A and B are shown apart, each in its own frame.
Chain A
Amino acid sequence: MKRLLSRNETLVAITIIGLILLIGLNNPSFFSLGNIFTLLRTSVVTGILAMGVLIVIVSGGIDVSFTAIAVFGLYVAVKLMKAYMPDAPIWVGFVIASVVGLGLGLINAFFIAQFRLPTLIVTLGTLSMFQGFLLFAIGNEIIRAVPPSMKSFARAAIVRIPMTRGTANLHPAILITIAAIIVTWLLLNYTMLGRGIYALGGSREAAERAGFNVTRIQYFIYGFVGLLSGIAGMTFGSLARQANPQDIVGTELNVIAAVVLGGAQLTGGYGTVLGTVLGVILVVIANSSLILIGVPTVWQRVVIGLIILVGTGIPAIQARRKGKRTVGLADI
C-alpha cells in the first residue's frame, strides 16, 4: 500500500481524479459522452508523440525535433498523394509519413550516435533545420484541399451514439494511439532492446560494459521516434483536414511535460508507459477543460507549469526525505 502510494503513477492518477471532480462538479457537461470522446480525440496526437518522447527520455536523451518531423512527414505525404495518387487510400499517406519520419529520425541518430553530441543540441539544430527545409524547399502554403481519403477519414467513427443534440462520435485514430501505446509497452518491458534503453539511461558506461550495442540502440530510439512522429503528423493532418507547415511545431514542451509529469526523469532511466498515458490525460484535460471552470486561456500555461513543478517537486522532496541526499558538496 505504502509502495503504491509513493508511486508516481498514483500521484498523477489522484491529481487527474481531483481535477475531473473539480471541473465536473462545476460544469456537469464535462461528463457527457460527447465531451469525453472529444477529449480522447484531442489526446490522440499527443499520445502518439508522448510514446516516442518517453523512449528518448528513458534512454537519458531528449528530443525536441519530433514536432518538426511530424509536420514534415504530414506535408510531404499530402503533397505526394495530391500530385501522384489523389485517390489512394489513407494508409498510403501513413506509410509515406512514417518513412519520411523514420528517415529524419535516423539523421538525428546519426549525429547523436556517431559524433556523441548532446541530444538536446542535435535535436535543437535539426528542429530548425527540418522546419526550415520544409518551408523553403517543399512548400510554405497551407494545403486545405486534402485528398478525399483524408476527408472521409476525418469523419470516420468507430462508435456513434445519438445524443439529444447531434451524435457523439469516437474517432478511429484512437486505435492508432492505443497501438502505439501497446507496442511501446511491449518494447520497453519485454524486449532486450527495451531493457537496453533503460540500461543506457541508468548508466551508459555500465551498459557498454555489459555488452549492449549503444550505437545501435540510439539508432533505434531516434528512428522509432521519427517513425511515430510521422504517424502522429499524418493523424493530426487527417483530423484537421489540412496540411499546414506551421502546425504542431511549438507543442514540443506540452508533450515533454506530459511525459515528465508521468514520472519520467530527464536524467534518464526512469519512466513507464502507464505513467506517460496518465501524464497525457492530465495535460490534455488541463489544456482543454480548465476553461470550463473559468481559468482563462492565458492562465492555462501557468496552471500547467504549476502542476509540473508540484508534480515533479513532491517526488524529489520525498526522495530527499528518505535520505538520498542530492546536494553535493561541490556546489557550496
Chain B
Amino acid sequence: MAKPCVGYLFSYEIFSKNHQSTYLRSEWEFISMADELLRLNGIYKSFAGVRALQGVDLTIERGKINCLVGENGCGKSTLIKIIAGVYKRDAGEIIINGKEYEDLHPIDAIREGIQVIYQDFSLFPNLTVAENIALNEELANGRRLVSWRNVNRIAKDALAKVEVDIPLKARVEEMSVANKQLIAIAKALRQNAQLIIMDEPTSALTEREVSTLFSVIRRLQKQHGIAFLFVSHKLNEVLEISEKMIVMRNGRVVSSGDRSEYDNARLIFEMTGRRITEKSYDFTPDLNQPPLLRVEGLSAEKVLNDIQFELRRGEIVGVTGLLGSGRTQLALALFGMLPTDNGRVYIDEEEVVITSPQDAIQHGIGYVPEDRLTEGLFLEQSISNNVVVRIIDRLRNSMGLLQTRQVKEQANYWVEALSIKTSDPELPVKTLSGGNQQRVVLAKWLASKPRLMILNGPTVGVDVGSKEELHEMIKHLAGEGMGILLISDDIPELLQTCNRILLMRRGHISEEILPKETNENELSAKLIEE
C-alpha cells in the first residue's frame, strides 16, 4: 500500500517543479489503476425532489478496510445501492476494475466481485445453512439438479474460510443475527467477492459478536485480499477497524483519508459540522415523594432473579449488562410481555398486575423495543399517521372524527423535536433513512406521554449528532416528571443521560452505580467482568 503513495508524492513533486513529468505521471496512474477497485465520480441521485446524493467522489482500493460514516439521511445507504446497481444514478461515473459502466445492473456488480450484505441478509430462513451458502453458486453455474454432496462441500469450504463453526444442517431461522451475518459473508466469499459492503452490520450485535466479526474481517483481508466498506454509527468501532475513513454529509463526501488522521472528535466534527459536548444529567430525586415505580422480588423462570429497585418521577435510570443478562427481559416483564412467577410491581405505591401490554399501557407504561425496524411501523403509511397512531383517541372530536389540524400539529411537532429528516410528514415512512425511521417509532411512543417510559437501546442506528439531541429530549421529558428506564449498552450514553445505572448480571441487579462516581473505562470493565 505504501508504494503508490510514494509514487504519487514523488511524481507530484516533479510535476510541479518541471512540467515534463508525463512519464512518471502515467506510471502513477498505472499503479493506481491496478490498486483501484472502485471509483465514483460526481454521483447524483434524487428521489422525487429529495436530493439524496449530490456529487459523490469516492475511490476504494483493493484489500483495504474502509468505513463510511455520516449523519442519518446523509445518503450512505443510497450510495451503497448505487454501487450495487440496485438504484440507477442520475449522473456521474462508476468505474469498477478499470471498466466504466454506463448502466450498472446488480448482476454486473456481482460479476465484478462486489457483494453487498443487506440488513435483512437476503437469506432464506426456511432453508439450511448449507443451502443458503451454496444456492447462489449452484444457480450461477446453471445447475438444474441439486447435488447435496456438492452443496455441503461448498458450504463447508466457505465456512472454513471464515473460520467459524456453524452447523450446516440447521435452518437459518434458528441462527442468531451474528451467525446470519457470518453466513452471508461465507456466501459472498463463494461468489468471488473482492469488495464486501455492509450497511450497519453491528447494530444488532453484542460486543463479543462484534469482535468476532472484526477478526473475521481482518483475516479475510489479510489472507484473501478482500476489501470492505463498512457503515456504522458507532464511532469507537469505526476507529478500531478501519484503515480508511470516508465521511459523508448532505449527500457528499466531505472528508476522507487514512485512519491515522482521525480521532473521535474530528469524525464528529466532519459529520456534523459542529463540536458536541454533552452535559451529564444531575438529578436528585425528592425522597419524600413516593416512588413512581417500585419493583420487589420480580422473578421469571431462568431469566430474572429477584429484581428489586425503585424509580422516582424525573429520574432516568439506566439498565445495562451483557446480552443475556436479563436487561431486555426486565423490560418485557414490566411491559407484560414476559410472564413472571414471583414479585410485586407498584406504581405510585399501588400494586399493579401486568400480564399484557394492554395492562401496561393502561397503567401509563410505554415501551420502545429493541428491534424497532421490524416492530411497530406501518411502512407504507405516512410519517404523521405513524406518529399519531397511539394517540388517535385523543385527537378525535366529540363526533369521533379525527381532527386533521391537530394530527398535523402533533406530527409537525415531533418531526421537529426529533429532527426527523423529511421534506413532508405526509410521505410514507419507507422513504426515510434507517435512522430516521427509528425516530418515528420513538416519536410515536413519546407522543403518548406515558408516566413511565422504557426505552430499549433508543439510539442504536442513530448518528452521533442526533444522539445528543435525543438525549436532550429524554432529559427534557424527565424534567417534566416522566420516569425513564433506559436500557442500553452504550456506555457514554448511560453516563451522560442517567442519574443512576443498574448493572445486571445473570438476571439479577448486581450493582447500582452513580455516573458521577465512575468513568467510561471503569464501567465498561465492570460490564464485561463475569
Q: Mark B144-184, 1 if CB is under 8 A from A, else 0.
A: 11100000000000000000000000000100000000000
A203 contacts across to B, CB distance below 8 A: 122-125
B173 contacts across to A, CB distance below 8 A: 324
Stretch with Cβ within 8 A of B (4 or more), from A11-19, A29-37, A157-165, A206-214: A206-214
- Docked complex: B109-160 residues within 8 A CB-CB of A: 120, 122-127, 131, 135-136, 138-140, 143-146
- Measured in the bound complex, the distance between the Cα atoms of B378 and A110 in whole Å is 31
Stretch with Cβ within 8 A of B (4 or more), from A45-53, A141-149, A189-197: A189-197
Check A269–B125 contact: CB distance below 8 A: yes
Check A192–B143 contact: CB distance below 8 A: yes
Stretch with Cβ within 8 A of A (4 or more), from B305-313, B369-377, B392-400, B458-466: B369-377
B191 smallest CB distance to A (angstroms): 10
B307 smallest CB distance to A (angstroms): 20
Check A199–B124 contact: CB distance below 8 A: yes
Judge if B106 is at the interface, Cβ distance under 8 Å.
Answer: yes
Check A193–B144 contact: CB distance below 8 A: yes
Judge if A329 is at the interface, Cβ distance under 8 Å.
Answer: yes
Check B135–A195 contact: CB distance below 8 A: yes
Check B127–A198 contact: CB distance below 8 A: yes
A147 smallest CB distance to B (angstroms): 39
Check A327–B337 contact: CB distance below 8 A: yes
Check B146–A269 contact: CB distance below 8 A: no
- Measured in the bound complex, the distance between the Cα atoms of B107 and A162 in whole Å is 66
- Measured in the bound complex, the distance between the Cα atoms of B374 and A325 in whole Å is 12
Total contacts A to B, CB within 8 angstroms? 73
A211 contacts across to B, CB distance below 8 A: 107, 136, 139-140
Q: Given A210-B136, A211-B140, are A190 and B145 also a contact pair (CB < 8 Å)?
A: yes
Interface size class of B (residues with CB under 8 A): 20 to 34
Smallest CB gap from A196: residue in B: B139
- Measured in the bound complex, the distance between the Cα atoms of B127 and A192 in whole Å is 13
Judge if B361 is at the interface, Cβ distance under 8 Å.
Answer: yes
A205 contacts across to B, CB distance below 8 A: 120, 122
- Docked complex: B353-367 residues within 8 A CB-CB of A: 357-358, 361, 367
Smallest CB gap from A209: residue in B: B122
B124 contacts across to A, CB distance below 8 A: 198-199, 202-203, 206-207, 269
A212 contacts across to B, CB distance below 8 A: 139
Smallest CB gap from A194: residue in B: B146
Judge if A1 is at the interface, Cβ distance under 8 Å.
Answer: no
Check A332–B357 contact: CB distance below 8 A: yes
B391 smallest CB distance to A (angstroms): 14
Judge if A270 is at the interface, Cβ distance under 8 Å.
Answer: yes
Question: When the two chains form the complex, which single residue of A191, A195, A209, A327 contacts B106, counting CB atoms closer than 8 Å?
Answer: A209
B430 smallest CB distance to A (angstroms): 14
- Measured in the bound complex, the distance between the Cα atoms of B361 and A322 in whole Å is 26
A215 smallest CB distance to B (angstroms): 15
- Dominant SS at the A interface? helix
A325 contacts across to B, CB distance below 8 A: 337
Judge if A201 is at the interface, Cβ distance under 8 Å.
Answer: yes
Q: State the interface size on chain A (CB cutoff 8 A).
A: 28
Check A330–B378 contact: CB distance below 8 A: yes
Check B144–A329 contact: CB distance below 8 A: no
Residue of B126, B135, B139 with most chain A CB atoms under a 10 A cut-off: B126
B440 smallest CB distance to A (angstroms): 13
Judge if A296 is at the interface, Cβ distance under 8 Å.
Answer: no
Check B136–A202 contact: CB distance below 8 A: no
- Measured in the bound complex, the distance between the Cα atoms of B356 and A332 in whole Å is 9
Check A269–B126 contact: CB distance below 8 A: yes
Check A329–B139 contact: CB distance below 8 A: no
Check A202–B126 contact: CB distance below 8 A: yes
Check B144–A270 contact: CB distance below 8 A: no
A201 contacts across to B, CB distance below 8 A: 126
B144 contacts across to A, CB distance below 8 A: 191-193
B42 smallest CB distance to A (angstroms): 28
B490 smallest CB distance to A (angstroms): 22
Smallest CB gap from B357: residue in A: A332
Check A270–B146 contact: CB distance below 8 A: no
Question: When the two chains form the complex, which single residue of B120, B125, B146, B374 contacts A192, counting CB atoms closer than 8 Å?
Answer: B146
Check A332–B375 contact: CB distance below 8 A: no
Question: When the two chains form the complex, which single residue of B106, B125, B140, B377 contacts A202, counting CB atoms closer than 8 Å?
Answer: B125
Q: Given A198-B124, A329-B376, are A192 and B337 also a contact pair (CB < 8 Å)?
A: no
- Measured in the bound complex, the distance between the Cα atoms of B184 and A206 in whole Å is 12
B365 smallest CB distance to A (angstroms): 12
Q: Mark A84-121, 1 if CB is under 8 A from B, else 0.
A: 00000000000000000000000000000000000000
Judge if A294 is at the interface, Cβ distance under 8 Å.
Answer: no
Smallest CB gap from A195: residue in B: B146
Q: Mark A46-85, 1 if CB is under 8 A from B, else 0.
A: 0000000000000000000000000000000000000000
Additional 14 contacts, C-beta under 8 A, given A209-B106, A330-B376:
A191-B144, A191-B145, A191-B146, A192-B143, A192-B144, A194-B146, A195-B127, A201-B126, A205-B122, A206-B124, A210-B136, A211-B107, A212-B139, A330-B378
A-B contact pairs, 14 of them (CB 8 A): A191-B144, A191-B146, A192-B143, A195-B131, A198-B124, A198-B127, A203-B124, A206-B122, A206-B124, A209-B122, A211-B107, A269-B126, A328-B374, A329-B369
Which B residues lie at the A interface, using CB under 8 A?
A: 106-107, 120, 122-127, 131, 135-136, 138-140, 143-146, 173, 337, 357-358, 361, 367, 369, 374-378
Q: Across the A-B interface, give the 6 residue pairs with the lowest CB-CB distance, nearest first.
A: A269-B126, A202-B124, A202-B126, A206-B122, A329-B375, A332-B357
Which A residues lie at the B interface, using CB under 8 A?
A: 189-195, 198-199, 201-203, 205-207, 209-212, 269-270, 324-325, 327-330, 332
